[in-house]
Each structure stands twice: as C-alpha cells, then as structure tokens.
Amino acid sequence: MKDKSINILKFIGLSFFEPAVRLAAGEDVKKNLTELIKKVVFPIVSILLFILLWHVGANKLYNIERDYKIETARKSGGETAIATELKRIESGESTINSLPSPVSVVTAFKNLIADHKIISAKKSAFLERVAKTNEKRKAQGLKAITYTGRPSFVDQIITSLKTVFAGFFLALFLAVPIGMVLGLSETLRSSVNWLIQIFKPVSPVVWFLLVYMIVKSLTLTYDGDVSFIISFIAVGLCAMWATLVNTTLGVSSVDNDFINVAKVLNLSVGQKVFKIVLPSAFPLIFTGLRITVSVAWMVLIAIELLSQSPGLGTFVWEEFQNGANDSNAKIIAAMFVIGGIGFLLDRMMFSVQKLMTFTEA
C-alpha cells in the first residue's frame, strides 16, 4: 500500500509528499520527519509569509492613495471637503485602485463563482423556453436560437482551455512531422534553419495580426466563431517552436548504432521512423511539448484580448477598463486561476511524459 501510494505521488508530480507516506508507515522516522519539514512545512511557511507581506503591502498602498485623496481634498476645500471625501471613500463612490488585499481577492473569487451560478441558471431557463422552437427550426433546416447573454468567469475559463488545447494540437501536428523530416535530413535542416531562427522569436501580437489577415479573408462567408479560429491558430503558431526544435534535435541525435541495426534488418523507412527514430527521440519531443503547453497558455491571454474571444484575456481586459471597486481584486483572482491552470497543465504533460518516456522527476 505504501509503495503504491508513493508511485502514484511520483506519477502525478507530487513526490514531495513521499516523506509523509513513509512517516505514516513508521519508516525511518527521524529522516522522513526532516524531509517532511524541508519539502512540506517550509513551503507552507513561505506561502503564509507571502500572504502576510501581500496583506501588509496592500494596506500600505491603500493608505498612500487614501491619504493622497484626503490631502487633495484638504487643499481644495478644507475640513468640509475632507469629511465629504472620507464619506465618498467609505461608500465606495470614490474608488481607490490600489493592490487589493488577500481577503478582497478571496471575496471577489467567491462573487465570480456566485455570478456563474446565476448566469448558468438564466442560460438553462432560456434553453428550456426555446427548446420546442429549436426543434421546429431544426426540422425546417434553420439555425437554432442560442443564448447570447454574457459569459460567466467559469465559461471564460472553459473557452480559454478549449483555445489552448486546440492551439496545442495544431502545434503538435505541425511541429512533430516537420521536426522529424528536418532531423532526418541534414541538408534540409541547414537549408531552413534560418527560417526557424527568424520566426521563433516573433511576438504573439505579430502572429495574431498575420493570422487575422489570412483567416479574415478565408472566412468571409463563414457564420461560426471566427475569433476562436484566429485565437487557436495564433496560439499554435506562437507555441510550436520549442517542439519543432526539440523534435529536430531528438531525431538528429539518434545513436548511429540504432540506424545501423535498422539497415542490417532491412527495415523500411516507415519501420525505421516508428520503431527506431521516434522512440529514441520521445524524451526530447515531450520536453518540447511540455514547453509548448506552457508557452501556449502564456500567450493565450494576450491573443484573446486582441481577438475579443470570450476567454480569460477578455475578462482581464474588461475588468481593467471597468474600474469598479472590486475590479482589481477580480483581476488578481484571475491571475491566480491562470497560474494554477498553467501549473496543472504542466503537471499533466509531465505525467504523460513519464508514462511515455519513463522520465524521472
């Protein structure tokens, strides 16, 4: 049972909990207790210190802006103006756009979840009302009536995940085959290397504009979600280069002894690729894919903002422009959600990499 638990923790990338499992089993108490303190207790303490510093810093910034508003009011109207400004600050009429406190961010996150429940209920009620109408329209060959209300925060997370996975698979299907071809041919590799070196550092904004120019012309008669198409293609093109370079390197670095064995066995090109080259290059390919997922998730926010796709990028920008009392708190809440999802995506790719290549943590 102990070994099984440890293997599961290692597989999902949570090996730092291994000392706790061993300690629970009574194995080498002193050593595992020391390891548990190093790997679990110290990180928890650092998190608490981070929250404390955040809280103190947020209060300090709030007081600086509050004092500035009060001083401005004093210069313009004396004590009466100060009292008026204090009332405006307390009522929320006068907004202080400083760094929100941890409590404010937690409250904002809870409000976003509550808002999602309200919007989901409205959407379900709407779909129930138009269900019969949509059946008739479907029989007549007409488009169904869809809910056009604003998306909730959770809906925007789902949209972003769909976009990043679509972009990731586009990068996968472009980069791996091209990388394998380049890795197998030194002449071809040296011929197009300049192209890779030029396109690899191009900004996500430039890729978005390029994709926008092309997709807009090709979808003039398309009634679907063009912003989603533009977003995932731009994400894929931005993120594919790590996989392309790593695949090329992995394939070109296959041991010559393996290639010679393939020649002795008279393997066909397909057999050589799938039985010799690809398995040998798997570790580097998956390292590239892991980087690709991270890059795709990072550039997604900027690309969604530009394309107006209803994802997290649009959410952050709208809250920034909104200027409401809790807008900053919602932005910070979104930041932690974005970071958490990015971490989970990386762990997911690491688990797949370990399963496919037996990579150690």
Q: For 187-206, what is each residue's pLDDT tens digit?
A: 888 888 888 899 988 888 89
Read off the pLDDT band of 250 (50, 70, 90): confident
Given a contact cutoff of 8 angstroms between Cβ atoms, the answer to whether 151 and 313 are in contact is no
Does residue 128 carry a pLDDT above 60?
A: yes
Q: Say if 49 falls within a structural domain.
A: yes
Least confident of 49-53, 198-202, 255-259: 255-259
Last residue of one domain, picked from the residues 40, 65, 91? 91
Band (6; pLDDT cuts 50, 70, 90): low
Domain boundary residue among 74, 91, 108? 91
Question: Is residue 144 assigned to a domain?
Answer: no
* 62 and 172 assigned to the same domain: no
How many domains, the chain? 2
Overall average pLDDT of the 268-292 stretch: 82
- Calpha distance 195→181 (Å, rounded): 15
| Domain-located, residue 98 | no
Between 53-62, 74-83, 155-164, the lowest mean confidence (pLDDT) is in 74-83
Q: Which of 95-104, 197-206, 283-292, 293-302 comes out lowest in average pLDDT?
A: 95-104
Residues 53 and 166 in one domain: no
Choice between 256 and 47, residue whose per-residue pLDDT is larger: 47
User: For residue 78, with 0-12 CB atoms within 10 Å meaning exposed, 13-18 middle and 19 or more buried, which class applies?
Assistant: exposed
Whether 163 shows a pLDDT value over 70: the answer reads yes
Q: What is the C-alpha separation between 171 and 192, in angstroms, rounded?
A: 18
On whether the CB atoms of residues 337 and 345 are closer than 8 A, the answer is no
155 and 86 share a domain? Answer: no
> Within this chain, do residues 194 and 298 fall inside the same structural domain, yes or no?
yes
The reply to whether 24 and 165 lie within a common domain is no
Is residue 25 scored above 90 in pLDDT?
A: no
Mean pLDDT of 55-72: 86
DSSP-derived secondary structure letter, 273: I
Radius of gyration of the chain (CA): 27
* Of 124-133, 143-152, 269-278, 340-349, the least confident: 269-278
Contacts of 334 (CB under 8 A, 6+ apart): 153, 312, 315, 316, 319
Question: What angle do the packed helices 153-184 and 278-307 form, to 10 degrees?
Answer: 140
Examine the domain organization and report whether 74 and 156 are in the same domain: no
Q: Quick one: 74 and 159 in the same domain? A: no
Over 50: is that where the pLDDT of 82 sits? yes
Q: What is the pLDDT of residue 118?
A: 92
**Sole residue written with tokens 């990731």:** 168
Range of the domain at 247: 150-357
Residue at 99 is within a domain: no
pLDDT exceeding 70 applies to what percent of the chain?
87
pLDDT for res 26: 61
Q: How far apart are CA 342 and CA 157, in angstroms?
A: 12
Residue 259 lies in a domain: yes
* Three state DSSP letters for 65-127: HHHHHHHHHHHHHHHHHHHHHHHHHHHCCCCCCCCCCHHHHHHHHHHHHHHHHHHHHHHHHHH
Output the domain CATH number for residue 284: 1.10.3720.10
User: Is there a domain that residue 127 lies in?
Assistant: no
196 and 63 both lie in a single domain: no
Angle of CA points 351, 352, 354, to nearest 5°: 65
Which alpha helices (H) appear in the chain, and where do they start and end? 2-11, 18-24, 29-36, 42-91, 102-139, 153-184, 186-199, 204-218, 226-239, 241-252, 256-264, 269-272, 278-307, 312-322, 327-357
Burial of 154 (0-12, 13-18, 19+ CB in 10 A): middle
Q: Is residue 125 part of a domain?
A: no
* Confidence (pLDDT) at 361: 47
Classify the C-alpha dihedral 105-108-112-113 as positive or negative.
Answer: positive
Q: Is residue 74 located within the same domain as residue 208?
A: no
Return the pLDDT at 154: 93
Q: Are residues 157 and 239 in the same domain?
A: yes
Same domain? For 51 and 160 the reply is no
Query: Is residue 118 included in any domain, yes or no?
Result: no
Rounded distance, CA 17 to CA 207, Å? Answer: 42
The answer on 156 and 13 residing in a single domain is: no
Q: Which of 69, 91, 113 is the last residue of a domain?
A: 91
Q: What is the 3-state secondary structure (H, E, C) of 28-45?
A: CHHHHHHHHHHHHHHHHH
